[in-house]
Structure 1
Amino acid sequence: MIAAIGRFLQRWGGYLALVIVFAIACALLSNWQWERRAEAVAAIQRVVDNYDAKPVALDTVLPELDSWKLDDEWTPVTLTGRYLRADQTLVRNRPLEGNPGWEVLVPLQLDDGRVFLVDRGWVSVGDTQDLPDSIPAAPKGEVTVVARLKPSEPTIGASTSTKGQLASIHLPTVAEHLAGEQVYTGAYGLLASETPSAATATLSTKPDPDEGPHLSYALQWIAFGILAFVGLVWAVRRERRIAREEAAERAGLPAPEPKRPRRKTDADIEDELLDRVG
């Protein structure tokens, strides 16, 4: 018995190790997809909890300029101040429904002097592709804004920001352009409404509750890991059957018949019918 196990390991040990490594990789990839799904479900829940909530004062959510909690994403806040229209910035490479365009970012200086960045919507690229054909102007004078909070975005590689344009809404970079101002760097706001009202670009809409294909991918990776062991068992059994057939041929004996399930007799069928109605 020990000798047989030794021969098996010598013959199939490498394949077994390979299958184990593959199964571990499948398990790790499956766990990664589970984590991605958990993140997507949490993001959907934040939309459900916050998007249609009653607006609150900005200070209750962002007590400091760099304050931010992920659970506050999409929370509507109320702000009163004046737009710094001369410091309007365009954020490039912002597609909407497959169309290229820009986000219009305008600083709003609050009554206490602090500055909060408001995304006043999306505009399509213009005929020259370098700038939009037109941008709705932010209103003059004092305005009351309701905006939904979003976190500061990361920088994009080695992308540089040119005058009046940004590669991403990285708020510390925006703060550098607004030198001398106290700028909120933890979050900015997607415009929901303005009072008095004014023309705006295309405003953002409520995100669809789509968690993506992560669950199916996680289950697929688990299935791949199991199938690897099934394939190994099948290969071992096939090799053993071929070895038996070759041994029988060398001994001049008929090849062993493969095992087939016993056919049911009439009595077996009758018993099954009685069990079903009994």
Structure 2
Amino acid sequence: MEAGIATAERRSALRDLLAPGLAALACLGILVALGTWQLERRAWKEALIARIVARSRAEPPMALPSPASWDPARDEFERVRAAGRFLHDRETLVHGLAPGETPGRALQGYYVVTPLRLDDGRVVLVNRGFVPTELKNPRDRAAGQVEGAATVTGMLRQSEARGMFVPAPNAATGEWFNRDVAGIAAARDLPGAAPYLIEADATSNPGGWPRGGQLRVDLPNNHLQYAFTWYGIALCLVGVFGAFAWRRVHGDEGA
């Protein structure tokens, strides 16, 4: 009699585990999928880093692509060299941070984006580098205002997307908060400008500020530890649900 009651209670407990079991299985699937996605992101990030490093070290730098072959997604991070004259009167300041002299402390200031009119008449925006806030006015960094013919070496970059919490540009002061190539070109009346900008390297402005070479190619790649985290949570879920199910089915046996 008691054995029959125990069997019936066990079957009831198993039925009661159906809903939480399905929920736990769904959560387990999500956690495993997130871990697998992080592994895929890791492979993608490693390929991206290898691509950036290889292109950043390319010698000699390639010529700027012609308008007929412009493709920002394909050409991004290509190392290029361009010659022309800077249009300093159409300079644009983009708020940003740069590494300071003290490790761990960043300087607040601006990235100086200046149009470069090439010898063939084309125009490309150049991120000439960083200036601290106190050097916002070009008169305070006259040594770095390259006049006459200029040669720029650097890497091609696409527009920087404006995030949800990034302010809109200030048309009155000409200050921007993201490197929006098309927006800056339109605001500065530069029709036909290239759809990307050149991130100038440190050798493109030997006369002082702005300081180029701010582009960092050592992108963080923490996706493996993220994957282990998701897989670890999945294992914990299996252990917790297993213990819960055992107690529901066999709880009275240990009493």
Bin the TM-score by the shorter chain. 0.7 to 0.9
- Per the alignment, residue 262 of structure 1 pairs with none
SS of residue in 2 equivalent to 1:24: helix
1:35-67 Cα distance to aligned partner (Å, 9 max, x none): 4323321221122211111111112xx544852
| 2:232 aligned with 1:232 | no
> Aligned to 1:16, which of 18, 21, 36?
21
Q: Which amino acid aligns with 2:176?
A: L
Is the CA contact (8 Å cut-off) linking 1:89 and 1:164 kept in structure 2?
A: yes
Matched length:
239
1:173-219 Cα distance to aligned partner (Å, 9 max, x none): 0121232542112x111112338x53342222563535432111112
| 2:157 aligned with 1:153 | no
Is the CA contact (8 Å cut-off) linking 2:80 and 2:154 kept in structure 1?
A: yes
TM-fit CA distance, 1:7: 2.2
TM-fit CA distance, 1:152: 1.5
TM-score (norm 1): 0.74
- Per the alignment, residue 272 of structure 1 pairs with none
The change in CA–CA distance for 1:12 and 1:219 in structure 2 (over 3 A counts) is: same
> Aligned to 1:52, which of 54, 57, 63?
57
- Per the alignment, residue 167 of structure 1 pairs with 177
Partner Cα separation in structure 2 for residue 188 and residue 88 of structure 1: 13
The change in CA–CA distance for 1:92 and 1:205 in structure 2 (over 3 A counts) is: closer
TM-fit CA distance, 1:3: 6.4
The percentage of aligned residue pairs carrying the same residue is 24
SS of residue in 1 equivalent to 2:152: strand
Asked which structure has the greater RCO (Cα within 8 Å, sep 6+), the reply is: 2
TM-fit CA distance, 1:168: 1.2
The change in CA–CA distance for 1:209 and 1:176 in structure 2 (over 3 A counts) is: closer
Q: CA RMSD in A?
A: 3.0
| 2:124 aligned with 1:116 | yes
Is the CA contact (8 Å cut-off) linking 1:126 and 1:132 kept in structure 2?
A: no
Structure 1 window deviating more from structure 2 (11-20 vs 76-85): it is: 11-20
Is the CA contact (8 Å cut-off) linking 2:86 and 2:146 kept in structure 1?
A: yes
SS of residue in 2 equivalent to 1:109: strand
Which protein has the bigger helix share?
2
Is the CA contact (8 Å cut-off) linking 1:123 and 1:202 kept in structure 2?
A: yes
Partner Cα separation in structure 1 for residue 207 and residue 88 of structure 2: 14
- Per the alignment, residue 98 of structure 1 pairs with 106
- Per the alignment, residue 275 of structure 1 pairs with none
Gaps of 5+ in 2: 100-104
Runs of 4+ in 1 over 4 A off after TM superposition: 1-6, 130-133
1:66-125 Cα distance to aligned partner (Å, 9 max, x none): 52134x333221111110010111101334352222101110001121111111111112
- Per the alignment, residue 81 of structure 1 pairs with 84
SS of residue in 2 equivalent to 1:92: strand
Is the CA contact (8 Å cut-off) linking 2:45 and 2:221 kept in structure 1?
A: yes
- Per the alignment, residue 242 of structure 1 pairs with 251
Gaps of 5+ in 1: 247-278
- Per the alignment, residue 179 of structure 1 pairs with 189
